[in-house]
Amino acid sequence: MSKMTPLDRILLLATGLLAAYQVAVGVDGFSALPMIAYTISFGVLLVAGLLLIILGFEALDSPWVVIVSTIIPLSLSLGLVWEHLAAYRGVYLLFSIAGFLAVVITRSFPMPGKLSVITLAIVHGIAGMVIFLLPILLAAQGSVPRGYALIGVGGALIGAGGLLLSFLKAGKPILSKEIIFKVLPGLLFLMTAAFVAGFALAK
Amino acid sequence: MIEATPLSITHLKTKVRSYWPLIKSLQTGLLISTGLAGYMSARCPVFNLGTIAALTASLFLSISGSTILNMWWDRDIDAKMRRTQKRPLACGQISPAEALRLGLILSTLGVGMAAAMDALYGLIIFAGLFFDVVVYSIWLKRRTCWSIVWGGISGAMPILAGRALGLGALDWIGAALALGVLFWIPTHILTFSMKFYADYQAAGVPTFPSTYGFGFTRAVIAVSSVLAAVSMGMAAWGIGMTVGYLRLLIVLSGGLLALAAAVLLRPSERVNFGLFKYASLYMLSAMLLMMI
């Protein structure tokens, strides 16, 4: 298991502080559901960052990691869809709940074949694409300030991080464990910074 | 005379270095932060630097004093426990008489200073010291695992005292803050007593795990975490904390509850340790949120 360096801890602390700022200040002014959804995603990010600092990378051995790493993109994408794609609100809410339950069930019980990996890929893939594409498209159309596109950048990073972690946990690593742990704190920090900046610039 | 000055400074430095571990600086710092949070939660003129400095000094002196007196009393059991056998008193680095003297001086100064600032504040600080040293350490610690309730009550006194100093009276918010700390303490201490189970057994100190088993202890941790989070939330609402900070407190409380649930449902050494550390971080964060 890779040892956590002081730089890793600083990056994770900065990630936690940014997420805390977003929970305390950054989600003000949104309607109820997006506010709750963003609070959940940044809240999970904050607590996960703190636990990583406390427990080190060993925390990633926990079977809960796959489930927790699903909550962040699902709730964030739900907030974005609720805000900007009124026609798809119901469908996406349903997808979020069903997707989350599917990941919980496929990670909690023995599943035939590659069902658990496929479920994970679908849920992460869709949520990741929403976070990546929606803000960039909206910014390109001019319906939101251009800085909002930074959320899309964060989306690309969360997609990369989520897939790396999920497939590592699923026993099918895309990169070696050492490389993933080396880049993870930086990836989390950049992702959170992009989200926070994107939301702030859109206000 | 010329040579005596550097010698005295060196001597003083050596003394301070050997005394420092006696006061458990992290625990003392955390308790001082609760006292400051209690004071600032009263939304009194907190930029009165004189009062803040006196509050900090009186808390530091009385908490450090009671901690030293506890260590003085517990030096025999500290010597039996691997975790504590290198403490200055347990390993003979400082003589018991010297520690007793220092503990009494600091305690007297702390309580005296507190009483001079405000009678109610002084009374609560004295109660905290009395519960901690006399009731918790001397009377109950070696007899029953329930002694931690009294340890918890004494730990809750700084925040209640700080609030009382700011308001000039006791109120339900102060009580809720004190309950928040009181219920947080089992989360902190019980995870610790599970981690160092063998140490406590060797020293013959009754703990929840040794008296009721690990399962029951985990249940108590989970329940006390819920109660701590609820008490802190109520106090925060009563203080009039802004919605944003309240949201942040809820998120941090959620983390505490999730970890407590994990300790209950999927117990492991790592989760146990994670809860222990997170609980300290939670308390510090909650106190910072109460202050701003």
pLDDT confidence of A65, banded at 50, 70, 90?
confident
Nearest Cα neighbor of B246 from A51, A46, A39 is A39
pLDDT in tens, A136-169: 999 999 999 999 999 999 999 988 887 787 777 7
Backbone torsions φ then ψ of B116, nearest 5 degrees? -70, -30
Distance from CA of A185 to the nearest CA of B (A): 19
Q: What would the two tokens of residue A65 be? A: 């990691």
Cα–Cα dist A120/A167, whole Å:
9
Cα–Cα dist B220/B225, whole Å:
8
DSSP for residue B267:
-
**Per-residue model confidence (pLDDT) at position B3:** 45
| Cross-chain Cβ contact B258/A43 below 8 Å | no
pLDDT confidence of A175, banded at 50, 70, 90?
confident
Cα–Cα dist B123/B121, whole Å:
5
Q: How many CB atoms lie within 10 A of CB B144?
A: 13
* Residue for token pair 């029953």: B144
B interface with A, Cβ–Cβ < 8 A, is 243-245, 247-248, 251-252, 254-255, 258-259, 262, 270, 273-274, 277-278, 281
Sequence-separated contacts (24+) of A89-92 with Cβ below 8 Å: A92/A130
pLDDT in tens, B38-55: 999 987 666 688 999 999
DSSP B85-120: TTSTTTTTSS-HHHHHHHHHHHHHHHHHHHHHH-HH
Candidate from B245, B251, B270 with C-beta closest to A47: B251
What residues contact residue B233 under an 8 Å CB cut-off, 6+ apart? B246, B249, B250, B253
Candidate from B244, B255, B274 with C-beta closest to A24: B244
| Total number of residues shown for chain A | 203
Q: What would the two tokens of residue B176 be? A: 């809720």
Cα–Cα dist B117/B128, whole Å:
17
Distance from CA of B270 to the nearest CA of A (A): 7
Do B255 and A44 meet the contact criterion of CB atoms below 8 Å apart? no
What residues contact residue A28 under an 8 Å CB cut-off, 6+ apart? A35, B243, B244
Q: How many CB atoms lie within 10 A of CB B253?
A: 21
- Domain ranges in chain A are 6-201
Distance from CA of A65 to the nearest CA of B (A): 13
Q: What would the two tokens of residue A181 be? A: 């742990």
The tally of CA atoms less than 13 A away on the side-chain side of residue A65 is 20
Do A30 and A75 meet the contact criterion of CB atoms below 8 Å apart? no
| Cross-chain Cβ contact B274/A51 below 8 Å | yes
**Per-residue model confidence (pLDDT) at position B44:** 67
**Per-residue model confidence (pLDDT) at position B4:** 46
A interface with B, Cβ–Cβ < 8 A, is 20, 23-25, 27-28, 39, 42-43, 46-47, 50-51, 54-55, 58-59, 64
| Cross-chain Cβ contact B247/A24 below 8 Å | yes
What residues contact residue A22 under an 8 Å CB cut-off, 6+ apart? A38, A42, A192, A195, A196, A199
Quote the ipTM score: 0.89
**Per-residue model confidence (pLDDT) at position B46:** 66
| Cross-chain Cβ contact B278/A43 below 8 Å | no
Q: What would the two tokens of residue B3 be? A: 């040579």
Contacts A55 to B, Cβ<8 Å: 270, 273-274, 277
More confident residue, A115 or B169: B169
Give the nearest chain B residue to A40 (CA atoms). B251
**Where do the domains of chain B lie, and which CATH numbers do they carry?**
22-168 (1.10.357.140), 171-292 (1.20.120)
Nearest Cα neighbor of B227 from B202, B258, B253, B203 is B253
Give the nearest chain B residue to A68 (CA atoms). B258
Nearest Cα neighbor of B38 from B118, B101, B134, B137 is B118
Nearest Cα neighbor of B151 from B171, B142, B123 is B142
**Per-residue model confidence (pLDDT) at position A90:** 96
**pLDDT, tens digit only, all 292 positions of chain B:** 444 455 678 877 887 888 888 999 999 999 999 999 999 998 766 668 899 999 999 999 999 999 999 999 999 999 999 889 889 899 888 999 999 999 999 999 999 999 999 999 999 999 999 999 999 999 999 999 999 999 999 999 999 999 999 999 999 999 999 999 999 988 888 988 998 999 999 999 999 999 999 999 999 998 998 899 999 999 999 999 999 999 999 999 999 999 888 888 888 888 888 888 898 899 889 999 988 8
What residues contact residue A132 under an 8 Å CB cut-off, 6+ apart? A152, A155, A156, A159
Cα–Cα distance list, B280 to A60, B29, B252 (Å): 22, 11, 12
Q: What would the two tokens of residue B117 be? A: 């600032």
Residue of B188, B248, B265 to mutate, interface with A, max A Cβ within 10 Å:
B248
Output b/e per residue, B127-141; b: 16+ Cβ within 10 A.
bbbbbbbbbbbeebb
Distance from CA of B13 to the nearest CA of A (A): 30
Contacts B278 to A, Cβ<8 Å: 50-51, 54
Q: What would the two tokens of residue B74 be? A: 């517990």
Contacts B270 to A, Cβ<8 Å: 55, 58-59
Cα–Cα dist B93/B86, whole Å:
9
Q: C-alpha B82: how far from its chain's center?
A: 22
* Residue for token pair 């794609």: A85
**Per-residue model confidence (pLDDT) at position B2:** 42
**Per-residue model confidence (pLDDT) at position A107:** 85
